[in-house]
Amino acid sequence: MRIGIDGIPLTGAKTGVGHYTLELARGLAQIADTDSFEFVTPARILSGDSKRDEWPANLSVTYREPNSLRKHWWTIGLPLYIRQSSLDLFHGTNYNVPLWEGCPTVLTIHDLSLFLYPETHEKHRVSVGLRRIPTMGCAATKIITPSQAVRREVVEHLNVSPEKVIAIPEAARREFRPMPAEETRDARKRFGIEDDFLLYVGTLEPRKNLMLLVRAFEEVLCTTNLRPQLVIVGKKGWLVDELFAYVERAELGDRLLFTNYVTDEELRALYSSCRMCIYPSLYEGFGLPPLEAMACGAPVITTRIPSIMETVGDAARLVEPTDVDALARNIIDLLADAEARATLSAAGLARAAQFSWEKTARMTLEVYREMLGQEQRA
């Protein structure tokens, strides 16, 4: 098989979709070494960030320099390339597939937050997404979602056949594994992080529900003698003025620390040394940060929403995404109980081990081969 994969998610600093695209492609190339896989993109891939020297030999990049015709990538540029190159299948890993069918296509829809929580996004993104995602869903031959929860949402809101949509879970990247305590000190020292800290990882945006976390943290400080730090790791997204205004009024001082971007190795150090990782999201497609935290041995508190419950199983403490008091109580309880933290840590490590990018790649490869009428076994 010759498989094309959307390379656009690798042309900038990688977010969750970029990591998904790269890990899936590497996994596919490793388990199907007689097939070829190529990222197809109208923009240059950031080679250093994507660790090109570690790619399997059957994974490559095709760069199609834009011109007056190919600048219309999804309607003209990519369909032209598919016909010229005789790709067997194209996988759009970021909500887009070519609109003129030259081969079977797979579309990954990571979540439907634009449909279900439009108030947590900027208006122009909602307007574009509400038009574009149904068009792409209709155009694709098959749709992959990261959870059964999103699969059900896609069937309901995009009005597609259940047989067209397959749920394939993701995984924590292999970089995320427990780091010995003494090896975490340098990273914490660089950011001014103390031994006793709580951790949040993710973009700062309304859907991540950071107001719940900040209010619960304020309650912990105001009602107990506990003085942990709250460390928030992630880039500033959109519609966060209310959050920062509340933080300023709360006067949390040096108890609250924003780090912005950190490297994977620094993040591994923080996951491995935090007292707990808290992920208070209103809505997710899968919930990778809690799984990454578990893979590093962090106890996890997260929200009782369908997709995250699929991901974490019984290995995390769950609270309602609007219950400040419940989150505060769970934080206080875990800070005071080292044995409970150790139990959660062990459960999380076992849960994270049930997921791998090899499994994700094998399940995805089965979809490709079924579509192309080939054997399903790798």
Q: Residue 13 — very low, low, confident or very high, per pLDDT cuts 50/70/90?
A: confident
CATH of domain 181-352: 3.40.50.2000
Query: If pLDDT is split at 50, 70 and 90, which confidence band does 376 have?
Result: very low
pLDDT for residue 48 is more than 70: no
Give me the helices (H) in the chain, please. Answer: 16-31, 78-85, 113-116, 123-139, 148-157, 181-191, 210-223, 241-250, 264-273, 288-295, 306-312, 324-336, 338-352, 357-371
**Over 60: is that where the pLDDT of 106 sits?**
yes
Spatial CB neighbours of 342, under 8 Å, sequence gap ≥ 6: none
Mean pLDDT throughout 360-375? 90
Domains 2-171+356-371 and 181-352 share a fold: yes
Q: First and final CA of the chain: distance in angstroms? A: 12
User: In the predicted model, what is the mean pLDDT of residues 307-320?
Assistant: 98
Q: Return the CATH superfamily for domain 2-171+356-371.
A: Glycogen Phosphorylase B; (3.40.50.2000)
Q: Whose CA is closest to 321, among 351, 287, 274, 275?
A: 287
Q: Which letter does DSSP use for residue 145 in this model?
A: E
Q: Report the side by side order of strands in the sheet with 229-233.
A: 256-260, 229-233, 197-201, 276-279, 300-303, 317-319
Strand partners, 290: none
CB neighbour class for 187 (10 Å; exposed up to 12, middle 13-18, buried from 19): buried
251 Cβ contact partners less than 8 Å away, ≥ 6 residues apart: none
In this structure, are residues 254 and 279 in contact, taking their beta carbons and an 8 Å threshold? no
Hey, where are the domains in the chain? 2-171+356-371, 181-352
Rounded to the nearest 10°, the torsion over CA 345, 348, 349, 351 is 160
CA–CA distances in Å: residue 98 to residues 79, 107, 266 = 6, 10, 38
209 contact partners, CB below 8 Å, separation of at least 6? 280, 281, 282, 303, 321
State if pTM tops 0.85: yes
Lowest mean pLDDT segment, chosen from 73-87, 265-279, 302-316, 326-340: 73-87
pLDDT tens-digit series, residues 112-164: 999 999 999 999 999 999 999 999 999 999 999 999 999 999 999 999 999 99
- Tell me the torsion sign for CA atoms 329, 332, 338, 342: positive
